[in-house]
Amino acid sequence: MRGIELKKLGGLMMALLWLLPAGYAQERTINGRVTDQQGQPLEGVTVTVQNEGGQTVSDDNGSYRITASKGNVLVFSLIGMASQEIAIGDRTTIDITLIAASETLDEVAVTAFGIKREERSLGYTAQAVTAEQLTVNQQPNVVNALQGKAAGIQIRNTGGAPGQGAKIQIRGINSLDPDRDNSPLFVIDGVIMDNSTSTQGESASIRGMSNRAVDINPNDIESMNILRGGAATALYGLRGSNGVVVITTKQGNAGDIRINYQGAVGIDEVNKFPKLQDVYTQGWNNIYDTNEFWPAFGPTVEEARAIDPTHPARLYNYLEDAYETGYQFKNTLSASGGSDRITFYSSLSQFKQQGIMPFTDFKNIQARLNTKVNVSDKFTISTNMNVANSGGDRGNAGRYNEQLAYWVPRWDVTHYQKEDGTMYMGFPGLSTNPIYVAKTNRFFDDVLRFIGNASLNYNPYEWLGFTYTFGVDTYRDNRQGTALGFRGLEDEIIVEDNGGEGATGRGFYNVYDTKYRTFNSTFLVNLSHQFTTDFGGSLRLGNELYDRSIYRSATEGWDLSVWNWFNLGNANQLDVATSREEYRLMGTFADLTLNFKDYLYLNATLRNDITSSLLKPNNSFYYPSASISYVMSDHLQLPAAISHARLRLSYAQIGKDALPYATSLGYTSYSALPTGITGFTRGALLGNPDLRPEFTNTFEAGLVLNMFDSRLRFDGNYYRSDSRDQILSAPISTTTGFSTASINVGDMRNAGIEITLGGTPVRNANFTWDTEFNFSANRNKVLSISGDRTDQIPVASEFGYLSSTVEMRVIPGKSYGTLYGRTYRRYYTAEEIAAGVDKSLELDEGRPLLIGDNGFPILAPAADVKQLGSVFPKWIGGWYNNFRYKDLTVSMLIDGQFGQSYYNQMDNFLAAFGMAEYTLNRNDHIVFEGVLADGSPNTQQVWLGQGYDEVTDRNYGNGYYRDYYRGNSEFFVQKASWVKLRSVSVNYKLPSSWFGTRFIKNASVGLTGNNLLVITDYNGYDPENSTTNSSSNAEGFAGMTYPALRSYLFTLNVGF
């Protein structure tokens, strides 16, 4: 089916290509000289033949020489100078004067609704990421591609699975409600685009499902603009309350048809493993025991081999064995061109990645057609269409790692099946083989998506314009879960993962479908007038409608009659469910801009929203914004070194509605009854018809400074936003008969700074070095969670042995997301205990440990948990470098996130089973540093081992690691700051003389290494990973994740 659809589309595109006027290729050599306004020659100016790829650089006399055709356009660019485009026409000599960027008036930024405004007029930040920056490290997911490249954005790659989702947040968490999306709004060519991560389906939430931005090909993107603050996003209203990412895709230019091919192949490997011990083998109490499950509390390998000659000479490193080398490849073919009347850009791409975890992959086929028709000088029609088919085989990395952690390292985990295809078990009682489960317990998704829009633009007069855009974003997401059933063969082992209720191991076939559709209509009227030479203004009036409909169905069938036939008719038990969701929102807004003498700009907006998720009269509300831009350098006499200086100030209020149906109350179907008996039970949410919109007030101030002819560029912001009366689905006592309630409660503040520092330390004919550093720090504070309930919200928790379970909670006075867990008790004096000092939730790490009479630290009661860390980074930064030497370009990106703590569940398990490398000290005698209950220092020597110890003449039970260490969450909530060499990419443009024919116009080859180095104290897999999916706000968990990738890619780029 989908093959045919894509073929059709491809055919359509090819037909369009040939309908357009063919180019007229008359090559000639163009000469010229580039100078600045003072007439001084400019060296190092890049001269490019637009869309052609031909390129040269001006020499120290400012002279250049390039081959181009009559219809071509030359682009002259130099850092710090405004680039210029010159049509060649009949000329063979083109001299040109470049103007310093800061002095130009036409530096344009893309703002809300794709409105292009002079950058200097903006009272807020709209940081752009260019196509080149975006694609430099070949990331298939647009969100990953942004990483480290813009200030104020936190991106977290949830893991290395093919197609795995990535989280994105701008200026931190905005909503207290753990169920609400905190990621920004994505708008592509004026259409709101879904970037949710659907976790529909059994275990899908831990199978690394994609965030839906994966359906956009980064190679199609011309630019991405990040709108961070309230004033920048004001026109988007409540949908933009988490910031907005405005994506503009590539457009064609009049002239020859350009065809470009880009290919990339790469290999992937695990970038970081937890360290395992390789000395102790299977057993308990240091006694070798091949019948028991205990992986590594036995004797040393040598001792075991003396008893059991079949014991391998070395223990298997089951982590390294269980992950393979992955590979990926991507092909993109694009064509663009057009005439005066019609221009187009079209592309077709295919991506496939085979994961490092066995039986995981992801495929993505994307096609795009953008066209623009100039009906007349005043009227244009443009359409953009994107079709994508994506999906793959999603592995359950959490379960995989858990089963690996149980694995006995004297057995080879890769020997996972018998000849008949059923699971192999080295001895009865060995843990279930994870690779066998990965092979037989699968989950697939298959998404077919269309995003398209038609936009009409009519400008009858210079002062009046109309724009209407109608967009559609629709997809169907079909998912299937399959597990092979029990066959009843002799000695066959039941695999518990592969079954359903009442039918352990007897197979299942689950089918899930989502139909998603949004309509997005926007109508804008632009009015502008220059009242006097010094004073002008413009007014925009707009209406926006957003209409979303989601329908989901799930059919789970289990207990298969034929063990390997995945058909719902083959399932003896069925469970079905359907749900639908409608959401509608209309915004009406006005946007007034006034400018005075081109150095002072004032912008004010007002928006009204009518939403379906609140009930009358609370469903309609207004909120304003205002901003000022003051270009000091054009008003005041500043030191010569400062070429441009600008101040920004803005204030905005943003309203926000509830999640759909937060106002509803009713009964849901009671699913524990078998088919044939229908019962209803209270819904889990206590809906509240009186919910009101919540409001956030944001304030932002910024400064832009360009110095030394723009070779040093600074852009800094300070912002603060306060949200009041947030709408929450708050957990409440289940004795009410509900587990959550919708309430207006809770205040939160975000404040922070963002700094972008750019420079061009070296710029000459052969060598240019551009560098850009971005830095941001967000401070979040939960001001209050008041109301008729306790002051905390549990968000998520992950199990830890001996009650060392770690929970992420939201509590007032702290930043969003604090991890709680069990600790060793600390010493407090009797007076301190009487004063209740020891009851504090904060862990006083400076205090000595309290040591028990037995010489060991004491685990605090399980209910007496303490705060062990905060889950959001204190600051994040990125450093991008670009070196250009003649035709060789080297780019390097370093980024880091600092100050966050994550729970490492994998380490908890590896400690519990004696496999963590540090458990090698298990047979040591030590004296724990700390004090006894009477305050005197501990001097008692104890043994860390299991059972009886001759030296101290005592029985130590299960030993230190099992009785103490694994129960202390302090060891497993780890500092997860990291710095990464995110990418290094080398690109070489092949000399045009190599191409004998004129068929190939330009070509380049490149090598890219991604995630080459990570520096961190975190002792698990890569700390950037997350066990929670990319739509989850549960940030603090990075234990049993799909390991991150280190990738090496080769790319080839050919232009025809």
Partner 1 sequence: MIMNITAKKLTKSIAAGLLSSVLVFQGCGDYFDVGNNPNLVTEPSLNSLMASVTHRAGMNAYRYGNAVANYVQYIASPSQGSSSDIYEITNLSTTWSQAYYGMSDAHDMIVGAEESGADLHAGIGKLLTAYQLSLVADSWGTAPYTEAFNKVETFSPVYDSPEQLYASIGQLIDEAIAALNSTDATMPLDPALDVIHGGDVGAWIKTAYGLKARHLNKISKKSSYDPQAVLTALDNAYMSANDDMTMGVFSGNNPWAQIALDNLGALLGGWLSTNLVNHLNGETYGVIDPRVGKITDLTVNNDYVGTPNGGGNQGPLANTVHDQCYISTNCPLTSEVSPIYIMTYAELKFVEAEAALRAGLRSRAYVAYLAGIQATMNLLEVASGDAQNYIEEPSVSVGELGLTLNHIFKEKYVATYLNFEAWNDARRHDYGYQGFQMPEGAVLPTFIRRIAIPATEIVNNSANIPEQESLDTPLWWDMP
Could you say which residues in the range 944-973 bind partner 1, by CB under 8 A?
958
Binding residue for partner 1, selected from 114, 557, 687, 752, defined by CB under 8 A? 687
Q: Which residues contact 964 (CB under 8 A, 6 or more apart)?
A: 824, 856, 857, 859
Instruction: Pick the closer one to partner 1 by CB: 307 or 673.
Output: 673
User: Interface mask (CB under 8 A) for partner 1, residues 290-329, using x and -?
Assistant: -xxx------------------------------------
User: Interface mask (CB under 8 A) for partner 1, residues 798-827, using x and -?
Assistant: -----x-----x------------------
* 456 belongs to the binding site for partner 1 (CB under 8 A): yes
Binding residue for partner 1, selected from 21, 787, 848, 947, defined by CB under 8 A? 787
Hunting for tokens 């006592």 — which residue is that?
733
Query: How long a stretch of residues is the chain?
Result: 1056
Q: Which residues contact 698 (CB under 8 A, 6 or more apart)?
A: 229, 230, 231, 650, 651, 652, 653, 654, 719, 720, 721, 722
Can you tell me the distance from the alpha carbon of 474 to that of 481, in angstroms, rounded to the nearest whole number?
23
Instruction: Pick the closer one to partner 1 by CB: 309 or 617.
Output: 617
Q: Which residues contact 31 (CB under 8 A, 6 or more apart)?
A: 63, 64, 65, 92, 93, 94
Concatenated DSSP letters of 1021-1049: S-TT--SS-TT-----B-SSPPPPEEEEE
User: Interface mask (CB under 8 A) for partner 1, residues 849-868, using x and -?
Assistant: ------------xxx-----
Can you tell me the distance from the alpha carbon of 615 to that of 447, in angstroms, rounded to the nearest whole number?
34
Instruction: Pick the closer one to partner 1 by CB: 231 or 802.
Output: 802
Binding residue for partner 1, selected from 67, 77, 251, 573, defined by CB under 8 A? 573
CB of 648 to partner 1, least distance (A): 33
- CA 46-48-50 angle, to 5 degrees, is 150
Can you tell me the distance from the alpha carbon of 88 to that of 760, in angstroms, rounded to the nearest whole number?
29
From the DSSP assignment, how many helices (H) and strands (E) are in the chain?
A: 11, 55
Instruction: Pick the closer one to partner 1 by CB: 719 or 820.
Output: 820
Ranges within 486-515 binding partner 1 (CB under 8 A):
493-496, 500-505
Binding residue for partner 1, selected from 737, 813, 935, 937, defined by CB under 8 A? 737
Ranges within 380-439 binding partner 1 (CB under 8 A):
381, 427-429, 432
* 252 belongs to the binding site for partner 1 (CB under 8 A): no
Query: What is the crossing angle of helices 397-405 and 905-912, to 10°?
Result: 20
Binding residue for partner 1, selected from 261, 379, 565, 883, defined by CB under 8 A? 379
CB of 400 to partner 1, least distance (A): 17
User: Interface mask (CB under 8 A) for partner 1, residues 63-102, using x and -?
Assistant: ----------------------------------------
Cα torsion angle, 871, 875, 880, 881, sign: negative
Instruction: Pick the closer one to partner 1 by CB: 42 or 404.
Output: 404
Binding residue for partner 1, selected from 94, 115, 126, 686, defined by CB under 8 A? 686
Can you tell me the distance from the alpha carbon of 64 to that of 58, in angstroms, rounded to the nearest whole number?
5
Ranges within 875-904 binding partner 1 (CB under 8 A):
none
CB of 683 to partner 1, least distance (A): 5
* 41 belongs to the binding site for partner 1 (CB under 8 A): no
Can you tell me the distance from the alpha carbon of 638 to that of 634, in angstroms, rounded to the nearest whole number?
9
Q: Which residues contact 306 (CB under 8 A, 6 or more apart)?
A: none
* 829 belongs to the binding site for partner 1 (CB under 8 A): no
Here the tokens at position 980 are: 């990464």
Ranges within 336-375 binding partner 1 (CB under 8 A):
341, 373, 375
DSSP letter for 613, please. S
**Interface segment toward partner 1; rule CB under 8 A; list 395-403, 676-684, 753-761, 828-836:** 676-684
Instruction: Pick the closer one to partner 1 by CB: 456 or 642.
Output: 456
* 677 belongs to the binding site for partner 1 (CB under 8 A): yes
**Interface segment toward partner 1; rule CB under 8 A; list 141-149, 230-238, 787-795, 1011-1019:** 787-795
* 571 belongs to the binding site for partner 1 (CB under 8 A): no
Binding residue for partner 1, selected from 792, 889, 908, 977, defined by CB under 8 A? 792
* 661 belongs to the binding site for partner 1 (CB under 8 A): yes
CB of 680 to partner 1, least distance (A): 4
Question: Alpha helices, DSSP H only, in 163-313?
Answer: 230-233, 301-307
CB of 552 to partner 1, least distance (A): 10
The partner residues of 743 in beta bridges, in order of sequence, read 728
CB of 633 to partner 1, least distance (A): 42
Binding residue for partner 1, selected from 273, 329, 523, 995, defined by CB under 8 A? 523
* 735 belongs to the binding site for partner 1 (CB under 8 A): yes
CB of 544 to partner 1, least distance (A): 10
Q: Is 55 exposed, middle or buried (0-12, 13-18, 19+ CB in 10 A)?
A: middle
Number of residues located near partner 1, criterion CB under 8 A: 97
Instruction: Considering only the C-alpha atoms of the chain, give the largest distance between any 2 of them, rounded to a whole number of Å.
Output: 100
**440, 498 Cβ separation under 8 angstroms:** yes
- Strand boundaries in 745-811, DSSP class E: 747-763, 767-784, 793-798, 806-810
Concatenated DSSP letters of 852-905: -TTSSB-BPPTT--EEEEESS-SEEEEEEEEEEETTEEEEEEEEEEES-EEE-H
Can you tell me the distance from the alpha carbon of 101 to that of 36, in angstroms, rounded to the nearest whole number?
11
Binding residue for partner 1, selected from 287, 610, 753, 1000, defined by CB under 8 A? 610
CB of 378 to partner 1, least distance (A): 6
**Interface segment toward partner 1; rule CB under 8 A; list 4-12, 70-78, 726-734, 757-765:** 726-734
- Strand boundaries in 531-641, DSSP class E: 535-560, 571-596, 600-611, 620-630
CB of 610 to partner 1, least distance (A): 6
User: Interface mask (CB under 8 A) for partner 1, residues 613-632, using x and -?
Assistant: xxx---x-------------
CB of 506 to partner 1, least distance (A): 10
CB of 710 to partner 1, least distance (A): 42
Q: Which residues contact 293 (CB under 8 A, 6 or more apart)?
A: 406, 408, 429, 430, 431
**820, 809 Cβ separation under 8 angstroms:** yes
Q: Coil, helix or strand for 225? A: strand
Q: Which residues contact 963 (CB under 8 A, 6 or more apart)?
A: 802, 856, 956, 957
Binding residue for partner 1, selected from 327, 583, 596, 773, defined by CB under 8 A? 583
Residue 689 CB neighbours (<10 A):
13
Ranges within 264-283 binding partner 1 (CB under 8 A):
none
CB of 538 to partner 1, least distance (A): 20
Residue type, 1039: G
Backbone φ and ψ for 400, nearest 5 degrees, come out as -60, -50
CB of 831 to partner 1, least distance (A): 22
Binding residue for partner 1, selected from 325, 414, 564, 733, defined by CB under 8 A? 733
Binding residue for partner 1, selected from 7, 65, 529, 580, defined by CB under 8 A? 580
CB of 793 to partner 1, least distance (A): 9
Backbone φ and ψ for 988, nearest 5 degrees, come out as -125, 125
**222, 131 Cβ separation under 8 angstroms:** yes
